[in-house]
Amino acid sequence: MNTLLIIGGVILGLIFLVFIGVVVYLSQKGKNQPPSFGLVEEKYYVCSKHQLLDGGVFGKGPKLKFPVEDSELVCPRDEWEEINKKKFKKLATKWYGKDWNSEVDFWKK
Ligand SMILES: [Zn+2]
């Protein structure tokens, strides 16, 4: 009986640790993301300093990041400036030669 209680306690402890880990990971990750990180809303951001773009429907998609989707490059939140979709598309083409015709309809408008 005692053994079962100990095993149960250890398992609960581990679940708790994993939970804390995920929360810390997400909050750290969010720190260097545009303000819409973790929300569902259509927004477009640019960091002119590092020429990074991040925009689309946050939390749901379609969404794109430039220069690469899984960029290890992150910018402090105050470097992200909100822009409109038109400017976002224009900058992606200008900086990274993005061809919007190969994207889904969402991006063609
Ligand atoms: Zn930056």
Q: Give the pTM.
A: 0.69
- Whether residue 36 lies inside any domain: the answer is no
91 CA → ligand 1 middle, Å: 15
Together in a domain, 57 and 90? yes
Together in a domain, 103 and 56? yes
Together in a domain, 25 and 47? no
Specify whether the CB–CB gap between 92 and 98 falls below 8 A. yes
pLDDT tens by residue, 38-80: 789 999 999 999 999 999 999 899 999 999 876 666 788 899 9
Q: Which two tokens stand for residue 81?
A: 């400036």
Nearest 5°: phi and psi at 43? -145, 160
Together in a domain, 51 and 91? yes
pLDDT tens by residue, 13-34: 898 888 888 777 776 666 667 7
Full residue range of the structural domain in which residue 87 is found: 41-108
72 CA → ligand 1 middle, Å: 12
20 CA → ligand 1 middle, Å: 28
